[in-house]
Structure 1
Amino acid sequence: MPPSLPDFSKSHGSPTDEAQSWMTLRPNRHSVPGSNGKNGTTSDKVDMFVGDQFFRTVEPNCFDPDVRMKEMDATGVDIQVISTVPILFSYDKQIEPAAALARYLNDHIASVCYEHPHRFIGLATVPLQDVSSSVIELKRAKLELGLKGVEIGTEINGRALDHPDFEPFWAACEDLDVPIFVHPLGYELERENKARWGCYWSAWLIGMPSETALAMHALLSCGILVRHPKLRFCFAHAGGAYLPLLGRIQHGYNCRPDLVAHSSQGVSPQSYLGSHQHNIWIDSLVHDPDLLELICKKIGPDRIVMGSDYPFPLGEMPVPGEMLASNEEVGELLSKEARARMLARNAIEFLGLQDMFIQHKF
């Protein structure tokens, strides 16, 4: 995320209108001198607010490339793929300012990648509440800014990813060869039902994996990949709950194909998975060697990229990739070659960066 944000609340929407409350960045009240005193900081912690509602405090490694690179060096990370913090998607906002925010965020990520081309690779964000604006920004991000993919949410204002409105966006991603990273929006669950999701960190621990599974279920059931066979999706947090449920989903398809994947032209959900396919990828962030073994069996180690969720608490902290690189159980489960692929080469393939790394041996 950038170290500062324009304050859209002053020009778009009323501060008392929750639906139009914009994210702002404020110096943390315990910050040391060095913050800019406005809507961000240059070196210390900042507090994220949605309107007047506190959201979270973030450390400098969330917005300061120099701090981030020092931590990368300390933990043996050569390159990071960076993307927008999902709450900044702003899908619920008016399209004109939301599109302006997407441009601002993409310009910032592109500038970080331009200044540090050997350390960072950037993903774009787009205002998917308006598909035509999203296609325009996708083209700019790819062709003018040089960003290598796009990050989207698991749903957009109540519309699942199989909604026909998004068809032009999928076509544009396919035409431009832009891979798509899908990340859940756990914060929305508490907004919808605080009593159900507000306790025990449930929205983040249970809700986010469920969101991701539901998004995968929609995409693998609706025929998008039949119509657009060159699309590449990667789902955060190992696809959430989808792969552990795959046997149940496939059985449901076998007994009621009229209800499950009825729009997929005879392609079953399980047919989209496995190392032979090139459409569906997941990251490795499971915090559990046993679950890693399961997802390797279900989708194949060639379709798993290293996920870190850096720099947030639910990520693999403080050493991203530690489970793949040094965990004894994983070492017994996966060959050195398979782990090397998951630590680097699979991401290179998913993002289509083979030409950039042709001289590197990962």
Structure 2
Amino acid sequence: MPPNLPDFSKSHGSPDKNAGDWMTLRSHSDFSNGTSDQTGLESSKVDMYVGEKFFRTVEPNCFDPVVRMNEMDVTGVDVQVISTVPILFSYDKPIEPAAALARYLNDHIASVCRDNPRRFVGLATVPLQDIPSSVVELRRAKVELELKGVEIGTEINGCSLDDPRFNPFWAACEELDMPIFVHPLGYELERENKSRWGNYWSAWLIGMPSETALSIHGILSSGVLVRHPKLRFCFAHAGGAYLPLLGRIQHGYNCRPDLVAHSSEGVSPQSYLESHQHNIWIDSLVHDPDLLQLICKKIGPDRIVMGSDYPFPLGEMPNPGEMLSSDKRVGELFSSETRARMLAGNAIEFLGLGDMWPGHKISCI
């Protein structure tokens, strides 16, 4: 994310009272004493606000490329794939300022990659509440900015990704050869029902994996990949809860085709995950060697890229890739060649970077 944000609600188009509050970034404040930080000096951290409501504090490694590169050097990461913080997608905002924000974010990510071409690979964001605007920005991100893929949410204002309205966007992703990284929007669950999702960090720990599973379920049950066979999706956090539920989903497809298979165009969920498929990828962020073994059995280790969720606490911190590279149990389960593919080679294949990054370790975040 950039270190600061203009006020897009005032500078682009007429304010929309029903559009919700915009994200702003402010110098970090220590709420206990009312100063910028505990020393009373201006802090290098940044506070994120949605309107006047505090959202979270982020460290400089969230927005400062130099800090990132220093941490990458310490942890042995050669290259990071960088993408927008999902709350900045702004799908619920009016399209004119939302499209301007997407352009601003993409320009920033492209500039970081351009200034540090051997350290960062960038993904675009697009204003998916308006498909024509999204296609325009996707093309600009690919052709002008040379970004290597696009990051989207698991749903857009309550609209699932299997909705036919997204077909022109999928067609553009195919035409431009832009792989798609799908990330859940857990913060929206608390907005919908705080009493259900607000306690015990439930929206992030339970809600986000459920969101992702529901998103994959929609894509694989609706024939999207029959109509758009060249799409490449990578789902965050190991696909959430989908792969552990695959047996149940496949059984439902078989026993109640009237409810599950009516739009599948004859392709079952299990069929999409057979060996050598090229449409569905997931990242490795499970924090559990046993679960890593399970997802490798279900989707194959060649379709798993290293996920770090850097620099946030639910990620593999402080050492991205530690479980794959040095966990004893993982070393007993997988060969060094297989682990090397998950640490680097699979991400290079997913993003089509073979000519750019031979032999490099890539962290997809």
TM-score normalised by length of structure 2: 0.94
Q: How far apart are residue 274 of structure 1 and its match? A: 3.3
For the 8 Å contact 1:113–1:119, the answer to whether it is kept is: yes
Matching residue of 2:92: 92
For the 8 Å contact 1:152–1:183, the answer to whether it is kept is: yes
Provide the rounded CA distance (Å) in 1 between the counterparts of 2:350 and 2:323.
Answer: 21
SS in 2 for 1:185: coil
**Gap change, CA 1:146 and 1:34, over 3 Å in 2:** farther
Matching residue of 1:39: none
Matching residue of 2:153: 153
SS in 1 for 2:25: strand
Matching residue of 1:244: 244
Identity over aligned pairs, percent: 80
- Structural mapping, 1:321-340, within 5 Å: 321-340=321-340
Matching residue of 2:33: none
Number of residues of Structure 1 aligned to a counterpart in Structure 2: 354
Matching residue of 2:168: 168
Q: Which amino acid aligns with 1:48?
A: M
Q: How far apart are residue 80 of structure 1 and its match? A: 0.2
Identify unmatched segments of 5+ residues in structure 2: 30-35
Q: Which amino acid aligns with 2:113?
A: C
Q: How far apart are residue 14 of structure 1 and its match? A: 5.8
Matching residue of 1:141: 141
Provide the rounded CA distance (Å) in 2 between the counterparts of 1:141 and 1:185.
Answer: 23
**Gap change, CA 1:48 and 1:277, over 3 Å in 2:** same
Q: How far apart are residue 263 of structure 1 and its match? A: 1.3
Provide the rounded CA distance (Å) in 2 between the counterparts of 1:260 and 1:82.
Answer: 36
Provide the rounded CA distance (Å) in 2 between the counterparts of 1:190 and 1:119.
Answer: 36
Q: Which amino acid aligns with 1:253?
A: Y
Q: Which amino acid aligns with 2:117?
A: P
Provide the rounded CA distance (Å) in 2 between the counterparts of 1:209 and 1:338.
Answer: 25
Matching residue of 1:217: 217
TM-score normalised by length of structure 1: 0.95
- Structural mapping, 1:73-92, within 5 Å: 73-92=73-92
For the 8 Å contact 2:79–2:361, the answer to whether it is kept is: no
Provide the rounded CA distance (Å) in 2 between the counterparts of 1:112 and 1:301.
Answer: 31
SS in 2 for 1:20: coil
Q: Which amino acid aligns with 1:105?
A: L
Identify unmatched segments of 5+ residues in structure 1: 36-42
For the 8 Å contact 2:78–2:361, the answer to whether it is kept is: no
SS in 2 for 1:166: helix
How well do the aligned residues superpose, as a CA RMSD in angstroms? Answer: 1.7
- Structural mapping, 1:124-139, within 5 Å: 124-139=124-139
For the 8 Å contact 2:221–2:261, the answer to whether it is kept is: yes
For the 8 Å contact 2:82–2:121, the answer to whether it is kept is: yes
For the 8 Å contact 1:9–1:20, the answer to whether it is kept is: no
Matching residue of 1:38: none
**Gap change, CA 1:34 and 1:85, over 3 Å in 2:** farther
- Structural mapping, 1:267-278, within 5 Å: 267-278=267-278
Q: How far apart are residue 360 of structure 1 and its match? A: 5.6
Kindly provide the CA deviation profile for residues 260-317 of structure 1, in whole angstroms up to 9, marking residues without a partner as x: 1321211000111133100000000000001001000000000000000000000000
- Structural mapping, 1:274-293, within 5 Å: 274-293=274-293
Provide the rounded CA distance (Å) in 2 between the counterparts of 1:361 and 1:93.
Answer: 37
